[in-house]
Amino acid sequence: MRVLVVGGAGYIGSHCVLESLRAGHEVVVLDDLSEGHREAISDVELIEGSTHDRKTLRAVFETNQFDAVFNLAASCSVPESVQIPAAYYHNNLAGTLNLVDAMLLAEVPILIHSSTAAVYGDPEETPIPETHLLRPVNPYGDSKRLVEETLTAISQRHPLKHVCLRYFNAAGADPSGLVGEDHAEEGHLIPLLLQCALGSRERFIIFGTDWDTPDGSCVRDFVHVTDIARAHLRALERIDTVAGESINLGSSAGASVREVVEAAKQITGVDFDVVEEGRRDGDPATLLASNEKAKQLLGWSPEHSEMSMIMETAWRWHRTHPTGYSSERTPLGEGGTRFGDLAVQLGFVTRDDVDRVLIEQERLEKVGRGRKMMGLCMVEMGMLSTTQLVEVLRHYEGMGS
């Protein structure tokens, strides 16, 4: 299929682009780059523009024949939505309406729309089912609620098949280490912890240690961003049977803030400072998704959402991109070291590992066994898994080497 990913240069959007390409779809991205990064989708056609620009939207659909649209363009900061609510209703509701108008004119029938657990507000039952009352407590959640209701009303009168995917806490990064989370003003738990491990943030603050939870800190439902991206593809595949549905995307497991802090320290090997302060207004003690509907309707279960996997992939991204996509990359070498340099940049091995392989290659040559490929040596020496080898080779060959 040919898919337009709106907001495709952002965190979740770029992972949707990557998984769509891996699934064999043709992808075009529309993004105004106010939050996204061109570097996140370097191999994909980018149309720079906003859903508020009707002329751009019309031109996008007139010059392309799309089968479906993934809409991830939204403002999504809860604190900011409280400060400037009008901007959130404008960006999230009005922007989506403009997009849908353009889709209907171009007769593009399928919309996979990003929604949020914030539509529920304070949970009255846990895990939260999709039948839970929608009582958002901030303009961000309320704007997303209005979008869902508006899409339902539109689809009753127009040929629009839509699904709303309600994300819980998206986290982690693509295992390749090339795509990850980069926000100008970071407010998400795991990136904040990893910034502490990198030394770019002095300390991490736990807000509230007297909640009614096993260890006194808040419990949240973390779902790997790759699992979220793959759910979009499942929804696309099954659109005829799931059209009109709103579906939770969460692990249904949950981890406390203290548990996430310990996971960060264990994965990074850094014992950074953690301080405790009082509760913040509006923080519920526990937020957990029921993902039974996703299992039943999409055949989807999170496969990468164990906290160790989330933290490991996030750390691989952050340690190789300490200042995000603007991080300078060491130029790749030539010949036999180029594969090793790329494996280092992807975060799979260290420079010391490459040096050890070079010594092993030399030894093998001296005993008459020829010069074995660096990648195979790394696998045999336990430095790379076969999956990681394939990932390095994919990028290596894509560079024309």
Counting DSSP H helices and E strands in the chain, the numbers are 16, 14
- Cis geometry, peptide bond prior to residue 127 (ω within 30 degrees of 0): yes
The HSE-up count of residue 109 (CA atoms within 13 Å, CB side) is 10
400 CB-near residues (< 8 Å, 6+ apart): none
- Rounded to whole angstroms, how far apart are CA atoms 300 and 163? 14
Q: Is 140 one of the catalytic residues?
A: yes
283 and 317 in contact (C-beta within 8 Å)? Answer: no
55 CB-near residues (< 8 Å, 6+ apart): none
- Pick the catalytic residue: 140, 167, 325, 396? 140
118 CB-near residues (< 8 Å, 6+ apart): 78, 136, 138, 140, 141, 144
Written as six digits, the tokens of 268 are 């990074």
- Rounded to whole angstroms, how far apart are CA atoms 159 and 106? 11
373 and 363 in contact (C-beta within 8 Å)? Answer: no
User: Which candidate, 73, 56, 72, 70, places its Cα nearest to that of 27?
Assistant: 70
- Rounded to whole angstroms, how far apart are CA atoms 38 and 47? 10
333 CB-near residues (< 8 Å, 6+ apart): 340, 341
- Rounded to whole angstroms, how far apart are CA atoms 65 and 268? 46
Between the CA of residue 235 and those of 1, 63, 247, 256, 361, what are the distances in Å? 13, 26, 10, 30, 47
**How many other C-beta atoms are found inside a 10 Å radius of the C-beta of residue 132?**
18
Residues annotated as catalytic (active site), given as ranges: 140
